[in-house]
């Protein structure tokens, strides 16, 4: 058989609440690609400098070097030579990320995107819903509810702030199940 197929790219989405292991899973997949000597390019939003400016870092302290960027367009420009593109905290890049991921996958790249699927009100967090619709592979990760130990897919903000984007850790957010999650009053 002498059939030559064009190398096809694809999109993988890893989504869930805070502390559910999205970043751990992203790092696991990217490390395997690096070991297999693929050209791996990794991005995180500049706004997320909680643990590091130039590494993606999980709450369990796994880390991998990454490029801080301000926009989805910057990702496209800097991923030209990559076989595999990793993107963490995708919810901070807005709807432009959807086309960027599509274009990267169309160009034959494996695109692995991790991000929050719901905001602190429990509302779908763009662009994750749109990425889920266009991805080939979807993984939903769950944390453990800090109140009752059930599987947790919500992020409870434990401060009274009302902005949608507030970057923080356990001083601001905790994982909750659907029973224990209390959406903020409108």
**Contact set with Mg ion (CB under 5 A):** 22-23
Binding pattern to Zn ion, positions 163-182, x when CB under 5 A? --------------x--x--
Total residues at the site for ligand ADP (CB under 6 A)? Answer: 15
Among 12, 19, 75, 90, binds ligand ADP (CB under 6 A): 19
Q: Judged by CB under 6 A, which stretch of 14-22, 43-51, 122-130, 159-167 contacts ligand ADP?
A: 14-22
Report the distance separating Cα 125 and Cα 22, nearest Å. 15
Q: Name the binder of 19 from ligand ADP, Mg ion, Zn ion, none, CB < 5-8 A by kind.
A: ligand ADP
Report the distance separating Cα 27 and Cα 164, nearest Å. 26
Q: Name the binder of 147 from Zn ion, ligand ADP, Mg ion, none, CB < 5-8 A by kind.
A: Zn ion
Look up residue 133 and give its two tokens. 């619709």
Q: List the one residue out of 11, 2, 167 whose CA is nearest residue 102.
A: 11
Q: State the nearest-atom distance from the C-beta of 62 to Mg ion, in Å.
A: 10
The reply to whether 175 sits near ligand ADP by the rule CB under 6 A is yes
Among 11, 18, 101, 112, binds ligand ADP (CB under 6 A): 18
Look up residue 160 and give its two tokens. 């009274």
Report the distance separating Cα 110 and Cα 4, nearest Å. 19
Angle at CA 120, nearest 5°, toward 141 and 90? 55
Is there a catalytic annotation at residue 89? yes
Q: Is the dihedral of CA 145, 147, 148, 154 positive or negative?
A: negative
Active site residues: 89
């Amino acid at each position: 058989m002498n059939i030559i197929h064009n190398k096809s790219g694809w999109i993988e989405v890893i989504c869930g609440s805070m502390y559910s292991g999205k970043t751990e899973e992203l790092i696991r997949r990217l490390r395997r690609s690096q070991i297999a000597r693929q050209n791996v390019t990794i991005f995180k939003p500049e706004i997320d400098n909680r643990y590091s400016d130039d590494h993606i870092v999980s709450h369990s302290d796994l880390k991998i070097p990454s490029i801080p960027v301000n926009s989805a367009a910057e990702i496209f420009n800097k991923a030209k030579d990559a076989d595999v593109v990793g993107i963490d905290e995708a919810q901070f890049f807005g709807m432009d990320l959807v086309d960027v991921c599509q274009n990267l996958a169309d160009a034959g790249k494996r695109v692995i995107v991790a991000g929050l699927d719901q905001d602190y009100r429990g509302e779908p967090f763009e662009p994750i819903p749109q990425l889920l619709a266009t991805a080939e592979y979807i993984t939903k990760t769950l944390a453990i509810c800090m109140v009752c130990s059930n599987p947790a897919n919500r992020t409870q903000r434990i401060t009274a702030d009302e902005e949608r984007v507030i970057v923080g850790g356990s001083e601001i957010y905790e994982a909750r199940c659907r029973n224990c999650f209390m959406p903020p009053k409108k």
